[in-house]
Structure 1
Amino acid sequence: MELRQLEAFAAVMSTGSVTGAARLLSRSQPAVSRLVQELEAEIGYALFTRHGPRVTPTEQGFLLYEDVDRALGSLQQIHLRAAEIARGNAQPLLLAATSALALGLLPQALRRVEAQTGAVPIQLRSASPEQVVHAVLSGAVQLGASSLPLEHRGLEVHWIGEMPCVAVLRHDDPLAAHEAVPLQALAQRRLITMSNPFRLRHRLDATLARAGHSPARREALIETNSSVNAQALARAGLGVAVLEPLTAYGAPLEGLAVRPLDTNIPFVFGVVTPQAKPITPPVRALIDALLAAASALPHFVQHDASAHAALLRTLYGDDRGNDHDDQSSDAAAGDDSPS
């Protein structure tokens, strides 16, 4: 494979046509078509189906694009970094975080860092917990912030935080009058929550099941992969959102009330860096600033990094905790399956 072939393929995927890709790359249309055809010949399968001047990505094309996009992005970062080194610029902070921490914690922490050290270049990637871990393990970023589990070989966990989940609802909702929303009251309401069954959703379902209510059997349940989406749905009056607290407190939407639940559903998260790599002063300052920003939020409890395994057993039960520990070891050995 050649870089020009991958660039042509990515450009066609992004623009939806060979003509648009040619304009984007400042190349001729026949040249872009030839580069894509050479790439298809190299890999042995079609990336697009042709309909005259229009093209449609094949399933294999969509799958390959995910990796090509990441690779081209990394090359672009190298190009930019090379130019920064030539100009004598400071190394940027390369960060990856789940959307909850990227929205609810990192902005305040970065503001603290820049107040102390001045402005620094920042590259922040929002990703799933599994992708955050992979980015740190691969060295693509200097620091990751994510929910547990984080106990993979090759990661250094600096601190772990715990906060109870909250109910987010319209400010004029009758439940907003409660200081703490009764869990039993949610049995009569439409719930909005996360779709990932192995993290927050797992604990919510288990807690409601112990109270004699299983939302998994409710047709009215709304699932989403974003806390911001859940807040917007709650603001529209479509239900009560049960969410992790970082987004609810750190990036609240106007017109919503945030209330604790009368039953603790813990949300546990941590900060990690690549193991056996030196930590630069800006990264160290950010680790401390993240802890300070989290400590300012309601009901925050700090745990030592050594408490990771015990916290997993508390969250998932003995068997589930052991399973996560095993999966963490597998991932470190090269298994990229979600944990």
Structure 2
Amino acid sequence: MRQMDRSPLDIRQLEAFAAVMSAGSITGAARLLDRSQPAVTRQIRELEAEIGYELLHRSGPRISPTQRGVQFHAQVERLLFGLRHIRARAEAIGVAALPALEIACISALAAGLVPDALAAVEPALLPDQIHIQSLSAEGVVQQVLSHTADFGIASLPVEHPGLEVHWIAQAPCLAALALDDPLGQRDVVPLRDLAQRRVITMANPYRLRRRVDDAFAAAGAMPARLIDTNSSLTALALVRRGLGAAIVEPVMACALELQGVVLRPLDVDIPFLFGAVSPAAHPLPPGISALNEALVKVAAGLIPGFRLHDTAGADLLSNLVYGPGDHKEALR
């Protein structure tokens, strides 16, 4: 019962902590917030006393976050992100304007699809304020679930009872090769040949990386040299510098057409799966609905081999995402 009676945390204390984490020092945080250094120090101490544990290690003038501090900062950032937009939304309500649009998406889709899709939407349907956050796929899901984002676009899996899945799409991954790589002269790149080079691939073992590894295993040619990254753009930049050959999702690669890099289809289909989600039981307003439709049209015109899936086909999708087998229990 005592916990229910506790007052909310002080917003100025949370701002002070977030600023320290961003600047890396009390002095820098004070300058960011236009507060005195003693005031920021006091607010951090008061916050630590309120929550009952240290957020920062202190060694003379040097500070660093504790493990709990890092975890707490993720929660504070999410809260402050939402609070920063409340004023704009309140003002929009006051003048009967469209509320700000909050979009969360993985970086490949943020750069590869969202700009063209937004450009295709009737301007009158879009608000004056549009916020686009580039996050991990897991971060996109959490932002939509918490209603911090109105709309999300992420790689699969995105199953969750709190999400409305509007569409799911599939397109084959591509081989990205340096301009002078002999494999770039082929119309189709054999996966076994690609394994003889250093392979650049995605890092997340629960999404695209799993399907890449499964494809190499099925071909009996696991690469001995690897670079992994969480960014398609980084993978393409590494290819351009001759550091390896990449297996990349096709959205970013096709949208940016990076100079010095050639794209070729693979002799095996490694599917990149992605979809659009919003909070469950919240009908899409006209602007987001138009954006949703534009995303599909842009993707269909941009990505070779693009196709939509029936979101009701749970068994087919689970096999594509997780591999063949009985996954019905896991999806419940």
TM-score scaled by structure 2? 0.91
Deviations 1:177-216 (A, max 9, x none): 111111121121110000111211111111111111123x
* Among candidates 238, 241, 246, match of residue 236 of structure 1: 241
Structure 2 residue 104 is matched with structure 1 residue 96? yes
Could you tell me how far 1:55 is from its partner in structure 2?
A: 2.5
Aligned partner of residue 171 in structure 2, secondary structure: strand
CA–CA distance in 1 between the matches of 2:151 and 2:126?
19
CA–CA distance in 1 between the matches of 2:103 and 2:329?
28
Aligned twin of 1:110 = 118
Structure 2 residue 266 is matched with structure 1 residue 261? yes
Aligned partner of residue 237 in structure 1, secondary structure: coil
Could you tell me how far 1:275 is from its partner in structure 2?
A: 1.7
* Among candidates 217, 221, 226, match of residue 221 of structure 1: 226
Q: Which aligned pairs between 1:132-281 and structure 2 lie closer than 5 A?
A: 132-215=140-223, 218=224, 220-281=225-286
CA–CA distance in 1 between the matches of 2:205 and 2:27?
43
Aligned twin of 1:64 = 72
| Aligned CA distance change for structure 1 residues 115 and 298 (closer, same or farther; 3 Å) | farther
Could you tell me how far 1:115 is from its partner in structure 2?
A: 5.9
Aligned partner of residue 158 in structure 1, secondary structure: strand
- Write the letter of the residue equivalent to 2:312: S
Aligned partner of residue 144 in structure 1, secondary structure: strand
Aligned twin of 1:333 = none
Aligned twin of 1:302 = 308
| Aligned CA distance change for structure 1 residues 175 and 119 (closer, same or farther; 3 Å) | farther
Could you tell me how far 1:320 is from its partner in structure 2?
A: 6.5
CA–CA distance in 2 between the matches of 1:69 and 1:318?
39
| Aligned CA distance change for structure 1 residues 317 and 21 (closer, same or farther; 3 Å) | closer
Aligned partner of residue 306 in structure 1, secondary structure: coil
Aligned twin of 1:128 = 136
Aligned twin of 2:288 = 283
User: 8 Å contact 1:149–1:324 — kept in the other structure?
Assistant: no
Percent identical among aligned pairs is 50
Deviations 1:98-138 (A, max 9, x none): 12211211111111114674674311111111221122222
User: 8 Å contact 2:98–2:126 — kept in the other structure?
Assistant: no
Task: Tell me the number of residue pairs that the alignment of Structure 1 and Structure 2 aligns.
Answer: 323
Aligned partner of residue 302 in structure 1, secondary structure: strand
Could you tell me how far 1:298 is from its partner in structure 2?
A: 1.4
- Write the letter of the residue equivalent to 2:252: T
Could you tell me how far 1:87 is from its partner in structure 2?
A: 4.8
Q: Report the aligned-residue RMSD.
A: 1.9
Aligned partner of residue 305 in structure 1, secondary structure: coil
Could you tell me how far 1:288 is from its partner in structure 2?
A: 0.5
Aligned partner of residue 206 in structure 2, secondary structure: coil
User: 8 Å contact 2:197–2:244 — kept in the other structure?
Assistant: yes
| Aligned CA distance change for structure 1 residues 113 and 205 (closer, same or farther; 3 Å) | same
TM-score scaled by structure 1? 0.89
Deviations 1:119-176 (A, max 9, x none): 7431111111122112222211111111222232122222211111100111221111
Aligned partner of residue 160 in structure 2, secondary structure: coil
After the TM superposition, which of the residue ranges 79-88 and 198-207 deviates more from structure 2?
A: 79-88
User: 8 Å contact 2:200–2:228 — kept in the other structure?
Assistant: yes
Aligned twin of 2:328 = 322
